[in-house]
Structure 1
Amino acid sequence: MKIEYSSIPDEIVHRTIQGECTKDDGIYLFNADPFELFALADSLRYESVGDDVTYIINRNINYTNQCMGTCGFCAFRNSNETGYMYTINEIVEKVKENTDLNLTEICIQGGLVPDISLDFCKEMIESIRSEVPDIHIHAFSPMEIYHISKINNISIKNTLKELKNSGLDSMPGTAAEILSDRVREKVCPDKLTTDEWVDVVKLAHGTGIPTTSTMMYGHLETIEERVDHILTIRDIQKETNGITEFVPLPFMLSNNPVGEQVKKEGRFGTTGIEDLKTHALARVLLHGYINNIQASWVKLGKKLAQIALYYGANDLGGTLIEENISKSAGASEGEYLSADEFKWLIKSAGKTPKQRDTLYKII
C-alpha cells in the first residue's frame, strides 16, 4: 500500500501500515496537519473494512442509578434513597416490550450498589435468557465486575465464569475513562486502577467473554495520555484478540464537577475538529488490530458522527432506545435512533449500510 503525504514522514506512514505506530508517532500525528491525518485514517479505514458502515439494533437498560462511586464526571449517579433499582421482572419486561423491533442485543449497565449480589446478576441474565433466548446479552462494565467480585468475596475470574455460565455473552469495555492513574486519581479516585481495568478485561477474554473498548477524552488528560490509552488497548488486543471495537467518547461537561473544572480553564467541551482527530488517531494507532472504530451518535450528534465516517470511523453504534447516562451529562441527542434513520444517514454519506450483531457479524 503506497500513500503519499506532503508532511507526514515516510517512516511514520510505514509503521502505521505495519501496525507499529509508537507513542511519539501518535503525538506527532495528532499535532500534524489534521487533513493529512484524516486522509491517512480514511485510507486505512477503506483498506480494513471498505465502504460498509455498520449499526446494531439494541436496547440499553440502566438497571439502577444508585451508586456508591465518586466519579467527578458522572451526572447520572444518585447516592440517596430517591434512586431507583429495577427488579428482575421489570428488567425482563423492558427487554420483552421491544421485541417487535427485532433486537439482537440487550446492553445492561448500572451503578455500584453497596449490597449487590452475584446471585441477583446471574438471575437477571438467566431470566432474560429464559424469556428471550436468542438475544445477545452484553452486560456489566469492568468496574461492575470488579465491584461484584469484591462485595461477594469471589475472585474476578470465578465471577466472570459464573456470569458466563448464566448466559453472559459479552461485556462493554466502559469504565476505562483514561487509562492513566494520574488522571483517574483526579476524575474517579475510587474506581479501579488502570492495571485492575486491564486485568478484568484480559480475564474476561480468557474466560471466553469478548469486550468492546472505550476512551472518554477531553477533560483533564493530556494528548500523551490519550495516546497511551489507545496503545494500552492495542497491547491488550495483541495479547488476547478479544476486543470487538474501539469507541472514542467525548466528555460531556454538564451537571458534574469535572465539567465545572474544565469550564474554569476556559474550555467548553471538545471541538468538532478535536473529535474527528481523535477518531482518526484511533484508526491509525489500532490499524491491524481492531478494525471497528465507532462514532457515537449520542455523544457526537448525528451530523458529526456521519462526517466521522470519512475520518476513520466505520460504525455508528446502536438504536439504544433508552439512553440515560450521556443525557444526564448534557448530550443533546435523543434516546433512540431507528434502523431506518441509520440507513438514511449512512446512505446519504455515500456509504453502504449494514446491520450487524454485537460481534460484528453482518445480519
Structure 2
Amino acid sequence: MQTKMGLKKNEIDELIDKAWKGNLERNNVIALYNVNPIILFQLADSMRKKVVGDYVTYVINRNINFTDICIDDCAFCSFRYNEGYILSIEEILAKADEAVERGATEVCIQGGLLEGMGLEDYKLIVTSIKDRFPSLHIHAFSPMEVYHAARTSEMDFRDVLKELKKAGLGSMPGTAAEILVDSVRSKICPHKISSDKWEEIIKEAHRYGIPTTSTIMYGHIESIEDRIDHILRIKRIQKETGGFTEFVLLPFMSKNNALGRIADKRSGIDDMKMHAISRVLLYNVINNIQASWVKLGLDMAQLSLLFGVNDLGGTLMEEKISKSSGSEVGEYLSPEDMEKLILKAGRIPRRRDTLYFMV
C-alpha cells in the first residue's frame, strides 16, 4: 500500500521509528513533512504528550517596544517608523509598573535600532527597571540589538553580553533569526547579521548563563527545505549549549510591508504542519513548542494544541509589531481567557515564569 505522496506504509513506519529515536536526517524530515498530514499530526501529538503531558503553559508578561525608529530596512517589517516614537525611561518604567500591578513576572523589551544607541543606553533600560522592580524578570534585546550595541560602542559583543547580564538581564529573545539561511536573508533582511553571527551571539549568551528563546519566521519566500535547515540548526545549537527555553513559531504577517507583496500565502494546514514538524524534529531536544496567538489568531492557536504545541507564550498587554503588520486579535489576552482557551482544547493550563518554572 502506498500513500498519496508515494511512500509505502513500511517506509512511513520507518520514518516514524527514526523520529522517536531522534535519528531523522534532512531528507527524512522533508519526506515526513510531505506525508498525509494526519500521520504527522498524530506523531506530533503523541510526542507532545510523552514529553510534557497534557499541560499547556503561559506567562503573564508585558511587551515594551521602546522605539519604532530603526536604521535597518527589513522587507518584512511594518513596525519601522510607524509612529516615529522613542519611549523615555520614565515611560518605560510606567509600563513596567502597570505590568507588575497586573501580575506580570516578566517584561519583554525590544525596539528598533536607534542610530547611536550603545551599550550604556541598553544598560540604562535594564538597570532602571531592576532598581524599581528587583524581582521582575527582564527578557530583552535580540542578537541583532546586542550586535548593534557592540557596533555603536565599538566593543566586542561578548563584553556587551557580560555587561547586560551584570546589569540584570535575565534572558534574551531569540528573534532576528527569521530564516537562518543566508540566501533567504539576503533578500528579506540584507543588512541584518548573518546566520553564523546570530548563532555565535546566541551561543555566547548561553555560555554566559543567559538563556534565550529560539524562533522561526516562516511563510514568505523560503522553501520547505529552508525551514527544515533552520530547525536543524536550532537543534544542533541546543545539543551544544542547552540554552534554549523554547521554540517559537512566528507566521509571517504580510500587511503593510514590501515582502507581503511577493510572499506565498500561508494556509491553515501549512501552519499546523509547521508546528507539528517542529515538535517531531525537536523531540527530546527542546521540550517547549510555542504558538503565537497574536499572529495565528485565537482559533488557530487553540487548534495548534492538538498538533504538538504545549505553550501559548504570554499575555503581552501590548503588542505593536504584529499589530502593525495585520494582526486582528488584539494586544492582550487575560490569564482567565488564556486558561479558558486551553481548557476548551482539552488541556490543563499552567502558569509559568520565563524559564518555565511553574508559578
TM-score (norm 2): 0.96
User: Which residue is 1:286 aligned to?
Assistant: 282
User: Which residue is 1:107 aligned to?
Assistant: 108
Letter of the structure 2 residue corresponding to residue 39 of structure 1: Q
Describe the SS at the equivalent of 1:310.
Answer: coil
User: Can you list the C-alpha shifts for 1:260-285, whole angstroms capped at 9, x where unaligned?
Assistant: 112xxxx4x31110000000000000
Letter of the structure 2 residue corresponding to residue 34 of structure 1: P
Letter of the structure 2 residue corresponding to residue 246 of structure 1: F
User: Which residue is 1:177 aligned to?
Assistant: 178
Contact map agreement 1:18 1:288 (CA 8 A) in 2: no
Q: CA deviation at 1:7?
A: 6.3
User: Which residue is 2:227 aligned to?
Assistant: 226
Describe the SS at the equivalent of 2:349.
Answer: strand
User: Which residue is 2:21 aligned to?
Assistant: 18
Describe the SS at the equivalent of 1:149.
Answer: helix
Describe the SS at the equivalent of 1:246.
Answer: strand
User: Which residue is 1:132 aligned to?
Assistant: 133
**Alpha-carbon distance in structure 2 between the residues aligned to 1:71 and 1:16:** 35
Letter of the structure 1 residue corresponding to residue 16 of structure 2: V
Describe the SS at the equivalent of 1:91.
Answer: helix
Q: CA deviation at 1:30?
A: 1.1
Letter of the structure 1 residue corresponding to residue 21 of structure 2: Q
Contact map agreement 2:56 2:349 (CA 8 A) in 1: yes
User: Can you list the C-alpha shifts for 1:240-271, whole angstroms capped at 9, x where unaligned?
Assistant: 00000001111111000010112xxxx4x311
User: Which residue is 1:153 aligned to?
Assistant: 154
User: Which residue is 2:58 aligned to?
Assistant: 55
Q: CA deviation at 1:9?
A: 2.5
**Alpha-carbon distance in structure 2 between the residues aligned to 1:73 and 1:9:** 36
**Alpha-carbon distance in structure 2 between the residues aligned to 1:154 and 1:18:** 43
User: Which residue is 1:362 aligned to?
Assistant: 358
**Alpha-carbon distance in structure 1 between the residues aligned to 2:90 and 2:22:** 47
1:300 matched to 2:301? The reply is no
Letter of the structure 1 residue corresponding to residue 164 of structure 2: L
Cα RMSD over matched residues? 1.2
Equivalenced residue count is: 352
User: Which residue is 2:345 aligned to?
Assistant: 349
2:77 counterpart (74, 78, 86): 74
Q: CA deviation at 1:117?
A: 1.9
Q: Which runs of 4+ in 1 moved over 4 A?
A: 5-8
Letter of the structure 2 residue corresponding to residue 54 of structure 1: T
Contact map agreement 2:67 2:87 (CA 8 A) in 1: yes
* Runs of 5+ unmatched residues, structure 2: 1-7
**Alpha-carbon distance in structure 2 between the residues aligned to 1:187 and 1:142:** 17
User: Which residue is 2:84 aligned to?
Assistant: 83
Contact map agreement 1:8 1:32 (CA 8 A) in 2: no
TM-score (norm 1): 0.95
**Alpha-carbon distance in structure 2 between the residues aligned to 1:39 and 1:7:** 17
**Alpha-carbon distance in structure 2 between the residues aligned to 1:11 and 1:242:** 31
1:194-343 maps to which residues of 2 (within 5 A)? 194-262=195-263, 267=264, 269-343=265-339
Contact map agreement 1:295 1:317 (CA 8 A) in 2: yes
User: Can you list the C-alpha shifts for 1:150-188, whole angstroms capped at 9, x where unaligned?
Assistant: 111111110000000000000000010000000000000
* Identical-residue share of aligned pairs (%): 53
Contact map agreement 1:61 1:106 (CA 8 A) in 2: yes
Q: CA deviation at 1:15?
A: 1.9
User: Which residue is 1:35 aligned to?
Assistant: 38
